[in-house]
Amino acid sequence: MIRVTPVPGDLSDQRADLTVHFQFEGEPYPATLADPALRKSLAEIARLDGFEGKQDSALLWHSNGRPAARFLVMGLGRRKNLSREVLHRASAVAGSRSVGLRARRVGLVLPPLPKDKHFEEAAGLAAGGFLHGLYRFDKYLSAPRNGAGPEEILVGAGEGKLKRIRSVLEEVQEIDRVSRVARDLISEHPGYLHPEKMAEVAVREARKSSVKCRLMSEPEMKRLGMGGMLGVSRGSEHPAVMIHLSHVPRGAKKKPRVVLVGKGVTFDTGGISLKQPEGMEAMKADMSGAAAVLGTMLALPALGIGVEVHGLLMMVENMPDGRAIRPGDVLRMANGKTVEIKSTDAEGRLILADGLSWACATLKPDFLIDLATLTGACMVALGPGCTGVMSNNDRLVRRILDSAEEAGERMWQLPLFPEYREHIRSDVADIKNSGIRYGGAITAGLFLQEFVQPDVAWAHLDIAGPAYFESAYGYAPKGATGHGIRTLIRFLRSLS
């Protein structure tokens, strides 16, 4: 594990391969620099390079005769416009750059924040973002392309603030640990990670994290009438598995019960409604929702979250063999409703329907949240970097959006217009699994709502965009992100 250590001061006297500072637009040098000579040098370098501290900009300077071999200055934009997301992503870029620079010992100097921001929050966002940017999936490389990443990160803080951020940095490291578990799973190739392998990993990781884990196999699903899970998995040689994780700390009975449901399609060919071959390799990431739920659950005991939380990982593989479901088939879900299959590529909502139905009937949650890489329509609406949030409860939405803002993850509410329900009306069943081309993210949300009991506060998070980037996107590197974990942890902490 990478060592993260708080150190007093601006780190100017600390030996490092790279020291990271942050600078606001319109200011000549980072405000955290105490050394007048270093201020003057960096200000001159910035002027010559045209570096103005604008958001998402960076300046790299090779020092001479100083303890730090190099300085990396990250632009934050205007001081008055600083947000948690801006700080997190600037830190993530710095982390990613440090890997390419082969820096083994890195100094990270926290920026001064406006008065309404907390210092501990800055420490968590900056250190967490930096660790997030370090992630690489190099399991199958003969040698890492950029060498190994940092072994030690020194976090520079003012005198008297070290004790205040020590526990924050410990929490950041735990969140990074579980995020790496999730990101590794999303990055795994689908020939290795099928539903049963995911179950093996969940059992192992749950044991290490003191989380209870129970597996539900296909015979039990058949007894419970889970036609969605059984239908989607029918075309695969790998049987479906529902993984039930639970965290029930002492005193939790007096607090809300939360159930998280994650879409876990380990590979999605589209089934009989076969996808185009171009880009299909990215469908290994169609289990990102389940991975995010797993990562969240693994962190709860270590973080002392005092709320009862259950995580359901709905694991299937969607393949097109002779046993696969067909367009026109009718399936019966766990709550008894029937679904006409219009497209076998709209499979995620079928498995979530069973998970949501079972959660409402069996666990009786106060809050029910599902995460799914569900629709390309959500990406059309919000772009690749934002999650769409749909819900039957405005207070729950507000709480989730507040948690996302605090975590530095971008989410936005989409409506559930009731009249759009007409677009998924079926002539032969209670509902059909795909509607018209327009408003596809909303009709998918309306489909899921059919399987949530009206008295349960429910939210659907469509993470199709930010869960996995098929190419580098702005500040985000290519690959798995673990999106949603930080927001869910913030949300659960707010309940406890």
In the residue annotation, 275 being an active-site residue is answered as: yes
Sheet strands side by side (includes 58-62): 3-8, 152-157, 105-109, 18-23, 70-75, 58-62
Q: Tell me if 488 sits within 8 A of 387, measured CB to CB.
A: no
Catalytic residue among 39, 66, 275, 332: 275
CA distance 70 to 117: 29
Amino acid at position 223, single letter: R
CA distance 8 to 420: 57
CA distance 480 to 466: 9
* CA quadruple 73, 154, 485, 481: dihedral sign: positive
CA-wise closest residue to 191 among 281, 298, 118, 117: 281
Catalytic residue among 349, 399, 410, 490: 349
Q: Tell me if 343 sits within 8 A of 327, measured CB to CB.
A: yes
In the residue annotation, 432 being an active-site residue is answered as: no
CA distance 83 to 86: 5
- Alpha-carbon dihedral angle through residues 146, 147, 150, 151, given to the nearest 10 degrees: 170
The residues annotated as belonging to the active site are: 275, 349
